[in-house]
């Protein structure tokens, strides 16, 4: 409601300035007020929504839970994809995680919902990786599907630059997969998803010191790995990575 | 302790945390002062920053499909708790029945100690067989029978036994006088090996008369009869020596029917040794209801455990 009111206020100030057909101070003021109000209010609104949806889902409302799923499925899937390194396996782990989350929703006792959810996602990934380790046979279809989606060429990007970027992505993915799953999860959560250390600690269920230590070592190993790709890397990154020593 | 490129692990952690703004102000200030003077440290910081940025440049991938749940996906797993309960009940039932069987066996005989009793009877009776080599066991020669064949033929055996008893009573057969073939038919090599020549004769005569051909219908049944044959044979021989004319069914399963027949016919010779022995053996039927329940419950527990594990694995 507040979000809508702030948008209306911004729009009314904007339209009042429109007849003059130029950027007036009214318009600027309207944009500022709208943005200033909408930011915290929308966050607050989201939090309220999330809380209501969680409560609804906890009482067995599947629609409420599915709205949470739609909110978090991109995050959950990307974390799973970077941990698993395989699209199909990541999709399976994500689906399993959401099913587990729904069944275990009564155990959620507040705190960061996304950290709680991602803990289930990472655990599902670990389980799947352990299963694969026990049964290493991978079908030919799965092997051909191992290729993770690569970025499309940006507009205005030449074929050489696009190929170089593709190589870089491949190198980073390979190096990430070279880490142990526990180190990989921390690197993905901080460096790919931008989580802070506290939330990562909640997600992996370890103390803050462990997060710090794992992340530092993961980055050091990634750097060592990326150095081996040498010429494949863009010169800016290569020079910085190889600077020490 | 150095981790790489001469940088201590503690410094590496501090540099990494410094990158993310996760150091306390005091620590950050201290590290900042060191970075200004230590070139190796500052180069490592840049290397870590470049690495983190490279990882951060990985593109976000759209999910291949919606992960919204359907009611089918979250349907409660009803089979699993049911199977768990069923397995527990079957296991408990098995334990109770075995316990009951053991209690019964401590107070008397039970289905579980049948073989011992049979062997014991056999051991006791072997010398008696040797003492009476000339006796004609024609009324007997019937092997003991276990298993389904015995069950199937119980009624027939009872009739046969009744006929035997009646025939014996009427004829009061002497030692050398073969009984008119009340002995059941014996087929199969195993039974033949264990039976005496007289028993074979009886078998032939029985076969000729068409009696009891259903007693032993297969080699397997005949082999099973090995355990029971000697006692039956010996008891019959003993009866013959004592002038006991009653035809002996010679098998434990048939014993009950034979005893009933004896009771019904009231043999004049009174209670024979065979009758006494058979009375003792009466509860030890090879396939008593208790044993059948035990086998059934054990099989049920195995099947249920397998099913439960399977359902659990499927999730």
pLDDT in tens, A78-109: 999 999 999 999 999 999 999 999 999 989 98
- Is residue B64 in some structural domain? no
**Same structural domain for residues A126 and A162?**
no
B7 bridge partner residues = B4
The DSSP bridge partners found for residue B2 are B8
Are B152 and B85 found together in one domain?
no
Q: Work out whether strand B7-8 and strand B2-4 pair parallel, antiparallel, or are unpaired.
A: antiparallel
Q: Among candidates B129, B248, B135, B139, which has minimal Cα distance to B202?
A: B139
Q: What is the mean pLDDT of residues B262-282?
A: 46
Say how far apart CA A151 and CA A169 lie, in whole Å: 8
Token reading at B206: 């029985």
Instruction: For CA atoms B78, B79, B82, B84, give the dihedral sign.
Output: negative
Angstrom distance (rounded) from CA B222 to CA B187? 6
Chain B residues with CB-CB distance to A244 below 8 A: 5, 7, 40, 43-44, 47
Which pLDDT score is estimated for B138?
A: 43
Residue with tokens 């009872």: B158
Domain interval for residue A34 = 1-59
What is the C-alpha separation between A222 and B55, in angstroms, rounded? 9
Maximum alpha-carbon separation in chain B: 127
* Residue A122 forms contact with B (CB below 8 Å): no
How does pLDDT run across B95-138, given as a tens digit for each residue? Answer: 998 888 888 887 765 444 444 444 444 444 444 444 444 444 44
Among the listed residues B315, B137, B145, the one whose alpha carbon sits nearest the alpha carbon of residue B227: B145
Q: State both tokens at B287.
A: 């396939």
- Domains contained in chain A, number: 3
Cβ of B43 within 8 Å of Cβ of A99? The answer is no
For B177: left if phi > 0, alpha if psi spans -120 to 50, otherwise beta; the answer is beta
Which phi and psi angles does B228 have, rounded to 5°?
-90, -20
Sign of the C-alpha dihedral, residues B184, B189, B195, B200?
Answer: positive
Å from A170 to nearest chain B CA? 9
Q: What's residue A131's pLDDT? A: 87
Phi, psi of B107 (to 5 degrees): -95, -20
Same domain membership, residue A43 and residue A94: no
User: For A242, which residue in chain B has the nearest alpha carbon?
Assistant: B47
pLDDT at B37: 93
Q: Running along chain A, 245 residues long, what does each successive block of 10 average in pLDDT?
A: 52 45 48 49 62 92 95 96 94 95 91 95 94 69 49 66 84 94 96 94 95 96 88 63 60
Phi and psi at residue B291, to the nearest 5°:
-65, -40
Q: What is the reported pLDDT for A150?
A: 53
Residue A137 carries which DSSP code?
A: -
Phi, psi of B8 (to 5 degrees): -65, 150
CB–CB contact A241 B51 (8 Å):
yes
* Judgement on whether residues A128 and A164 belong to the same structural domain of the protein: no
Using the predicted structure, report yes or no on whether residue B271 has a pLDDT greater than 70: no
CB-CB under 8 Å, A173 with B69: no
In angstroms, the Cα distances linking A107 to A116, A124, A200 are 10, 17, 19
User: Please, what sign has the CA dihedral across residues B157, B161, B167, B173?
Assistant: positive
Q: Look at residues A53, A101, A109 and name the one whose alpha carbon lies nearest to residue A76.
A: A101
Average pLDDT over residues B230-243: 44
Question: Looking at the DSSP assignment, which residues form a beta bridge with residue B4?
Answer: B7
A132 inside 8 A of chain B by CB: no
Give the mean model confidence (pLDDT) for residues B169-186. Answer: 43
| Residues A166 and A137 reside in one and the same domain | no
B231 confidence band (pLDDT: 50, 70, 90): very low
Q: Give the phi and the psi of residue B146 in degrees, each rounded to 5.
A: -125, 160
A197 and chain B: CB distance < 8 Å anywhere? yes
Residues of chain A with Cβ-Cβ distance to B48 below 8 Å are 216, 219-220, 223
Q: Do B4 and A220 touch (CB under 8 A)?
A: yes
Interchain proximity B66–A70, CB inside 8 Å: yes
With pLDDT > 90 as the criterion, what percentage of chain B qualifies?
Answer: 20
Distance CA B9, CA B204 (A): 97
pLDDT at B104: 82
A244 and B60 within 8 Å at the Cβ level: the answer is: no
Residues of A in contact with B62 (CB under 8 A): 74
The total number of structural domains in chain B stands at: 3
Shared-domain flag, residues B136 and B278: yes
Q: Do B43 and B163 sit in the same domain of this protein?
A: no
Could you tell me the sign of the dihedral formed by the alpha carbons of B108, B111, B113, B116, in that order?
Answer: positive
pTM of the model: 0.53
pLDDT (0 to 100) of residue A119: 96
| pLDDT of the residue at B185 | 42
Residue A75 at interface with chain B, using a CB cutoff of 8 Å: no
pLDDT for position A219: 95
Q: What angle do CA B126, B132, B135 make, to 5 degrees?
A: 120
Structure confidence at residue A191 (pLDDT): 95
* Residue contact A69–B40, C-beta within 8 A: no
- Average pLDDT over all residues of chain B: 63
Is there a single domain that holds both residue A78 and residue A119? yes
Picking from A99, A117, A149, the residue at the C-terminal end of a domain is: A149
Is some CB atom of chain B closer than 8 A to the CB atom of A237? Answer: yes
> How many CB pairs below 8 Å do chains A and B form together?
138
DSSP B198-259: HHHHHHHHHHHHT-STTS--SHHHHHHHHHHHHHHHHHHHHHHHTT--PPP--SHHHHHHHH
Query: Residue B7 belongs to what domain range?
Result: 2-56
Assess if residue B258 is contained within a domain: yes
Q: Which of A59, A86, A103 is the last residue of a domain?
A: A59
Give the pair of three-digit tokens for residue B146: 């276990």
Of A168, A192, A245, the CB nearest to B56: A192
Q: Which residue has the tokens 């005893």?
A: B259
Helix ranges (DSSP H) in A59-158? 62-84, 87-103, 113-134, 140-144
The yes/no answer to whether this complex scores an ipTM above 0.85 is no
Shared-domain flag, residues A27 and A69: no
Show which residues on chain B lie within 8 Å of chain A, measured between beta carbons. Answer: 3-7, 9, 12-13, 15-17, 20, 22, 40, 43-44, 46-69, 71, 73-74
Determine, for residues A219 and B9 on separate chains, whether the beta-carbon distance falls below 8 Å.
Answer: no
Question: Which is it for the CA torsion B99, B104, B106, B111, positive or negative?
Answer: negative
* Co-location of B154 and B258 in the same domain: yes
């Amino acid at each position: 409601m507040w979000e809508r009111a702030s948008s209306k206020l911004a729009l009314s100030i904007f339209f009042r300035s429109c007849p003059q057909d130029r950027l007036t101070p009214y318009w600027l003021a309207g944009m500022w007020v709208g943005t200033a109000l909408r930011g915290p209010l929308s966050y607050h609104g989201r939090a309220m929504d999330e809380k209501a949806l969680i409560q609804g889902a906890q009482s067995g409302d599947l629609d409420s839970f599915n709205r949470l799923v739609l909110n978090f499925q991109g995050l959950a899937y990307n974390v799973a994809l970077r941990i698993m390194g395989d699209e199909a396996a990541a999709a399976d782990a994500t689906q399993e995680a959401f099913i587990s989350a729904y069944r275990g929703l009564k155990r959620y006792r507040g705190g960061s919902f996304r950290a709680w959810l991602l803990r289930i996602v990472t655990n599902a990934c670990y389980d799947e990786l352990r299963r694969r380790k026990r049964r290493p046979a991978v079908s030919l279809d799965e092997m051909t599907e191992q290729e993770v989606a690569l970025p499309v060429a940006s507009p205005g990007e030449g074929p050489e630059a696009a190929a170089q970027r593709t190589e870089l992505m491949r190198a980073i993915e390979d190096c990430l997969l070279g880490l142990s799953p526990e180190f990989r999860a921390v690197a993905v959560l901080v460096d790919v998803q931008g989580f802070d250390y506290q939330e990562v600690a909640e997600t992996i269920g370890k103390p803050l010191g462990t997060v710090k230590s794992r992340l530092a070592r993961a980055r050091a190993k990634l750097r060592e790995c990326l150095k081996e790709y040498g010429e494949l890397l863009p010169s800016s990154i290569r020079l910085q990575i190889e600077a020490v020593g | 302790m150095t981790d790489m490129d001469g940088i201590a692990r503690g410094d590496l952690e501090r540099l990494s945390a410094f990158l993310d703004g996760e150091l306390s102000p005091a620590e950050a200030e201290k590290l900042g002062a060191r970075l200004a003077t230590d070139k190796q440290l500052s180069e490592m910081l840049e290397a870590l920053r470049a690495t983190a940025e490279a990882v951060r440049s990985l593109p976000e991938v759209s999910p291949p499909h919606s992960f919204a749940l359907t009611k089918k996906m979250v349907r409660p797993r009803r089979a699993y708790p049911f199977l768990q309960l069923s397995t527990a009940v079957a296991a408990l039932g098995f334990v109770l029945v075995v316990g009951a069987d053991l209690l019964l066996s401590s107070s008397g005989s039970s289905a579980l100690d049948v073989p011992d009793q049979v062997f014991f009877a056999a051991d006791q009776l072997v010398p008696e067989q040797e003492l009476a080599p000339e006796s004609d066991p024609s009324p007997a020669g019937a092997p003991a029978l276990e298993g389904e064949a015995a069950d199937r033929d119980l009624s027939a055996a009872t009739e046969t036994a009744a006929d035997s008893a009646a025939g014996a009573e009427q004829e009061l057969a002497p030692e050398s006088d073969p009984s008119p073939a009340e002995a059941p038919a014996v087929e199969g090599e195993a039974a033949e090996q264990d039976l005496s020549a007289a028993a074979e004769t009886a078998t032939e005569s029985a076969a000729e008369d068409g009696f009891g051909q259903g007693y032993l219908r297969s080699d397997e049944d005949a082999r099973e009869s090995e355990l029971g044959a000697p006692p039956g044979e010996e008891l019959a021989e003993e009866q013959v020596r004592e002038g006991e004319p009653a035809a002996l069914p010679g098998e434990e399963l048939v014993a009950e029917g034979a005893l009933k027949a004896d009771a019904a016919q009231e043999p004049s010779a009174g209670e024979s040794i065979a009758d006494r022995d058979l009375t003792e053996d009466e509860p030890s039927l090879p396939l008593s209801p208790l044993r059948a329940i035990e086998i059934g419950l054990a099989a049920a527990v195995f099947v249920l455990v397998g099913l439960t594990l399977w359902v659990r694995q499927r999730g």
